[in-house]
Structure 1
């Protein structure tokens, strides 16, 4: 039995797939329920259908984590006799919270598209399309020498000073600070109306835009002064870049026919749709999980021999054929790869958290 609440789990998920990465039309995060509820058992699903909710009830689950949001758009009423209304009613009656990580999990590092590439052994991947560049800030804080270690540690633990694969990065220089406490103050050092000189450390570090509030809060909590002297200003260069889709290479060139068979075997599907000459030699592969037909031209521009995505429509398929870009459409459902990966991520984060993967098949298609 875990002793954490849903909000703690949401925070961990957002360290992996920050909500700021989601597209503006998307609706990620809490869908139904509360961040404050104590988590008893988690189930990971691709979709939130009534059959999935029934499975959650049967397994005493009180938190559903989905890839596809239950609520995409705002609703004006909840008719419990409608399909969606019935699902919402069941969730509320059984105190089941729903959280969605959708396009943010597609875009995130080690998210859905990276998982698909890893499964297909596509190497040396890069973003098919850059969509978000992180803004960085320089934080400078002046700390009495006696407390520099604790402030530095607090900054690093709050996420400041991340540069590449290094954390807790700071630069420090020594000097003297002066101040004169005024009436009504309660100074940590010095006396009211007397000028004080203190050996201080000027500490500099880098902070990601989304983490500024957390870092400043941790800094002020660890700092001994009643009023903390610090500077915060934006940097000209950007931080990490995030992108949608991936493009990379197979270890060796193979035919479109052979690669299509590999896709079928990898994702355990009986059949898929292919556009192009099956004898064509392919090596450079672009991937967008879900519906990615709008990125056909980007895949071609970046030199892809073949593009893997779902929900390909007739005219877009014709366009790909005419431009010489092979297409493999294994369907939208291959995004279910996120279920096992999300379970693994959460169990690594929370050792005693019961997490299961939904066994319900939410793929609406069957082939006869």
Structure 2
């Protein structure tokens, strides 16, 4: 039976939190004295009150969840106060009341094999995959690889829609949906700042999210087809992959949260 401390030790050897960017906050967000307990884990993209309530409901129904393992940090900026009604304060109160820890793997999880970008590359069946921006030992941010055989742009968009089920799929305007695409870059979450790096790889299309109006203009001007499938849709698959990894390790109970939120609704969809 794997303890929480053993699970976290394994994870941090695989995706070391010291790899995080200096603006990031990976690792323990709340540790209410659960390290020596058998790991029972709820995995989510974003640690919200809805996910905490889900964990508490599972406890009430006989499944003693004691760890919320999230991709996005709960705490980004230094806290100046904790007051009743503040979402982070409520998360802290509930975490200690119910002994449910909150742990985050963010930019360290983005870089590793089977992390956020690598899972996207696998879903699109990209071959000869390398990082868009290498960091160390073959790891790095984003992935770029080849479609074998190549697809038309329309077929690629259909495959993205099928694999990720985004509520909205935005892409650069093009006169030819039948143009062949054989080299594709991917990066889960907010990846528009990597456009210049993607252009240097020679990729024809770039799947990411959170792209602004003028970033689509920039991509068009640099002959790159920008495809925005949304933050949630491009990162949630890696959370699902993490569930399987933890099960393979022998974690007694692990499940993907059903209360993860996209935070966006599209009228008429």
Question: Which secondary structure does the structure 2 equivalent of 1:366 belong to?
Answer: coil
Name the counterpart of 1:53. Answer: 52
Q: Distance in 1 between matches of 2:129 and 2:12?
A: 23
What is the CA distance between 1:40 and its match in structure 2?
A: 5.0
2:253 corresponds in structure 1 to 354
Report the TM-score, using the length of structure 2 for normalisation.
Answer: 0.91
Kindly indicate whether residue 205 of structure 2 is the aligned counterpart of residue 300 of structure 1: no
Contact 1:17 1:111 in 2 (8 A): no
Given that 1:289 and 1:309 are in contact with CA atoms closer than 8 Å, whether structure 2 keeps it comes out as: yes
State how far apart, in whole Å, the 2-side matches of 1:294 and 1:83 are.
29
Counterparts of 2:158 and 2:263 in 1: how far apart (Å)?
Answer: 22
Give the match for residue 149 of structure 2.
252
2: CA distance, partners of 1:328 / 1:40:
38
- Superposition pairs for residues 182-261 of structure 1, below 5 Å? 240-261=137-158
1:107 corresponds to: 111
Structural mapping, 1:260-279, within 5 Å: 260-277=157-174, 278-279=176-177
Are residues 1:90 and 2:97 paired?
no
Match of 1:26 in 2: 24
Question: Secondary structure at the residue paired with 1:248?
Answer: strand
Q: Distance in 2 between matches of 1:37 and 1:53?
A: 21
The aligned residue for residue 13 of structure 1 is: 11
Alignment of 1:154-169 (within 5 A): none
Question: C-alpha root-mean-square deviation of aligned residues, in Å?
Answer: 1.5
* Structure 1 counterpart of 2:126: 122
Return the offset for 1:18. Answer: 1.5
Partner deviation per Cα, 1:10-52 (whole Å, 9 max, x = no partner): 1111132121222121111111014634135211111111111
Partner SS, residue 252 of structure 1: strand
Aligned partner (choices 207, 218, 241) of residue 341 of structure 1: 241
CA distance in 1 between counterparts of 2:214 and 2:39 reads 48
Larger Rg: 1
Q: Are the aligned partners of 1:299 and 1:307 in contact in 2 as well (CA < 8 Å)?
A: yes
Q: CA deviation at 1:344?
A: 1.1
- CA–CA separation in structure 1 for the residues paired with 2:146 and 2:134: 19
CA gap of 1:103–1:40, structure 2 versus 1, over 3 A, is: closer
- Number of aligned residue pairs: 258
Partner residue of 1:364 out of 256, 260, 263? 263
Q: Distance in 2 between matches of 1:243 and 1:357?
A: 25
Match in the other structure for 1:187: none
Higher normalized strand content (fraction of residues): 1
Cα distance, 1:333–1:111 mapped onto 2, change above 3 Å: same
Partner secondary structure for residue 142 of structure 2: strand
TM-score between both structures, scaled by the size of structure 1? 0.67
Structure 1, gaps ≥5 residues long = 133-239
More helix by share: 2
